[in-house]
Amino acid sequence: MERTERKCARIWIGLAVLAMGALFAADLVRLYTLHLGKAEIPQNNYLQERDLLGLRGRILDRNGYVLAESLSGRIVYIDREDPKLESPDIDRSALPLDLAALLNVPEERVYDAFYNNEGRRTTRICEISDNETIQELIRRSSPTTKEGRIAGVNFAEKRSVRSHPNGARLAHLIGFINAEGVGVQGVEQRFDEELRGKDGRIVTEVDARRREIPNRRIEEVPAVHGNDVILTIDNNIQYIIEPALEQALKTYQADSGTIIVQDVYTGEILGMATQPSFDPQDYNHMPQEQWKNIAVARNYEPGSVMKAITVAMAMQLGIIDENSTFDIGTSRVWYYAGRPLRDHAGGILRPADILAKSSNIGTAMIGLKMAEPSPDFGMEEYERVWRAFRAMGFGQKTGIEIPGEEAGILPHYKNWSKLSPTRMTLGQGIAVTPIQLCNAFATIANGGKQMRPTILKEIRSHEGALLRANTPKELCRPLSREVSAKVLDMLRGVTDRSKGGTGWRAALHDYTVAGKTGTGQIPINGRYNDTDYNATFVGIFPSTAPRLAILVTLERPRGPRHSGGNVAAPLFAEIAEPIGHYLNIPADKP
């Protein structure tokens, strides 16, 4: 009996040792899995997943000023069926007004979300990133709040929110991101891949109070923030040109307007304004047509500003020189191919006179010389004119890093009529984009080199490491240095009142200016009228040592003053002088 009891005791002790060994082995396997092996995510109520926001990269100006950045924020919805709306503490009639003031959005939008969205429980109102606003929403949504309590608001969804410190300034160039976080229009679209961040994730075990248990984190994928895009734009220059353009649209009752400021030697765009503008954080409440950056995406007939290009290319081809003369008569009307061409100049003109007085007939005569066939070079009739315009960048995209760029409209010479070389050379029947036109004048200014216009300076990582530096790129050299200098000298006469220059209102106090006015009729249903015009002035300064080319154009200015000399030239003078002083450009006037 005693022997049997001892035997049973040994068996139980052995079983106990085996059980303890098994438990110890299980713990070892668990430790290995958690710390060295690939963890299997347990499916229980003590598991918590937490997303880590990968912020979108910033967009900065050339001096490091933030133009757009992403912050941690919330999406705000109106919930029409929120049970808290039935509380006697809630004043439903005052809610739209209170919420609009708190969120800084139009009252009509909040009112419509509450009362005019039948069939929809929730309506997205806005995004907020301001922590004070978020905390105020939390406080006023609390059941313990008695005075000013709000309801019907859902702001639980956290996300990366795009912030624009300048509001609507530079909206067309910067663009915006949509509800899915994808860049739309402008820099946001063009550099979406570089700017986009990547969210991370944490999977961990928590206790009954939902607190993370130390050393029980199962998975951790860090967030990756997007790269920063640094532009060539100078925000201080933008501050000068945008208010001036906005005021000009009001003064002249114009439909739209554009200003471009370009460094003539690098091709860098220092300023680009388009009006009317829009709020990139409120883009859905603006017509899509207003999103378009007309500085690169609008084809328009520029009018007489093209005469400078015609004279420059005719001199480059050796067809004329600065001493060539053209007798345009005194009747101020000239018939060719059965059609009249009117002028306000008369007599015998040289190229400098043609530009200063903006002679239509004189330019048309130069166009006819250029249009003659050139058998020695294997060129047909009209071909030299067409190739000259192509060489100066017309009829093709410039390659600037802005989505939606148009190529302009330059019909192939084989499709030209007999009248074409007398009209295209003075800016009719040819359509250009503002960026093409500005770049063509920059080519004249810098000695004949055609640079690629650019808005990109560099791209850096979130930590500041340089990933890409954008260097100036020369596309071609359509003009010689000698021809460029002679044309530049002629264009000074355009801003000289004593020489009858049509652009004398563009003259500056401290700087000499070379430029050209343009008043292009807008074709309506294939016909021109006397009420719709594009008023343009492109100026180069200081003309003795060029630094900048500035284009100003207004669409459909109304009233008796609608010409480029009366509308665009004064606007150029208003912005060019302070820009020159800001950049410390030395004065070249005594």
The whole-angstrom separation of Cα 555 and Cα 96 is 39
Indicate the SS3 state at residue 539: strand
* Mean pLDDT in residue range 393-411: 96
The pair of three-digit structure tokens given for residue 291, joined into one six-digit string: 């999103």
The pair of three-digit structure tokens given for residue 404, joined into one six-digit string: 């939606």
The whole-angstrom separation of Cα 170 and Cα 215 is 49
- DSSP string of 485-523? HHHHHHHHGGG-GGGT-TTGGG--SSS--EEEEEEEEPP
Quick: pLDDT tens for 515-549: 999 999 998 887 888 889 999 999 999 999 999 99
Walk me through the domains of the chain, giving residue ranges and CATH numbers. Answer: 235-461+468-582 (3.40.710.10)
In SS3 terms, 128-160 reads as: ECCHHHHHHHHHHHCCCCCCCCCCCEECCCEEE
On whether the CB atoms of residues 149 and 140 are closer than 8 A, the answer is yes
In SS3 terms, 457-486 reads as: EEEECCCCCEEEECCCCEEECCCCHHHHHH
Quick: pLDDT tens for 477-528: 999 999 999 999 999 999 999 988 999 999 999 999 999 999 999 988 878 8
Question: Within a 10 A sphere around the Cβ of 356, how many other Cβ atoms?
Answer: 26
Nearest partner of 572 among 488, 513, 499, judged by Cα? 513
**Weakest-pLDDT range from 202-216, 366-380, 480-494, 569-583:** 202-216
Instruction: Using the predicted structure, report yes or no on whether residue 409 has a pLDDT greater than 60.
Output: yes
Instruction: Using the predicted structure, report yes or no on whether residue 43 has a pLDDT greater than 80.
Output: no
Residues 6+ apart with CB under 8 A from 128: 73, 74, 76, 103, 134, 137, 155, 161
Query: Which residues face 261 on adjacent strands?
Result: 271, 550
Nearest partner of 269 among 258, 280, 257, 256, judged by Cα? 258
The whole-angstrom separation of Cα 126 and Cα 110 is 10
Predicted confidence band of residue 4 (pLDDT cuts 50, 70, 90): low
Indicate the SS3 state at residue 34: helix
The pair of three-digit structure tokens given for residue 512, joined into one six-digit string: 């000499």
pLDDT the model gives residue 314: 97
The pair of three-digit structure tokens given for residue 540, joined into one six-digit string: 């180069």
- Which DSSP symbol is given to 276? S
Indicate the SS3 state at residue 363: helix
Instruction: Using the predicted structure, report yes or no on whether residue 111 has a pLDDT greater than 50.
Output: yes
- CA 492, chain centre distance (Å): 31
* Mean pLDDT in residue range 551-563: 92
The whole-angstrom separation of Cα 275 and Cα 445 is 27
- DSSP string of 352-416? HHHHHTT-HHHHHHHHHHHHS-BGGGTB-TTHHHHHHHHHTTTTS----S-TT----B---GGG-
Instruction: Using the predicted structure, report yes or no on whether residue 205 has a pLDDT greater than 80.
Output: no
Quick: pLDDT tens for 138-154: 888 887 777 778 888 88
Predicted confidence band of residue 199 (pLDDT cuts 50, 70, 90): confident
pLDDT the model gives residue 324: 97
Predicted confidence band of residue 30 (pLDDT cuts 50, 70, 90): low
Query: Which residues face 534 on adjacent strands?
Result: 520, 555
Q: How large a percentage of the chain has pLDDT more than 70?
A: 91
On whether the CB atoms of residues 460 and 275 are closer than 8 A, the answer is no
Predicted confidence band of residue 311 (pLDDT cuts 50, 70, 90): very high
Q: Across all residues in the chain, what is the average pLDDT?
A: 88
Instruction: Using the predicted structure, report yes or no on whether residue 38 has a pLDDT greater than 50.
Output: no
Cis peptide before 523, with omega less than 30 degrees from 0?
A: no
Nearest partner of 265 among 519, 83, 450, judged by Cα? 450
Q: Which helix H or strand E contains 169, and what residues bound it?
A: none
Residue 180: exposure state from Cβ atoms within 10 A (0-12, 13-18, ≥19): exposed
Q: How large a percentage of the chain has pLDDT more than 90?
A: 60
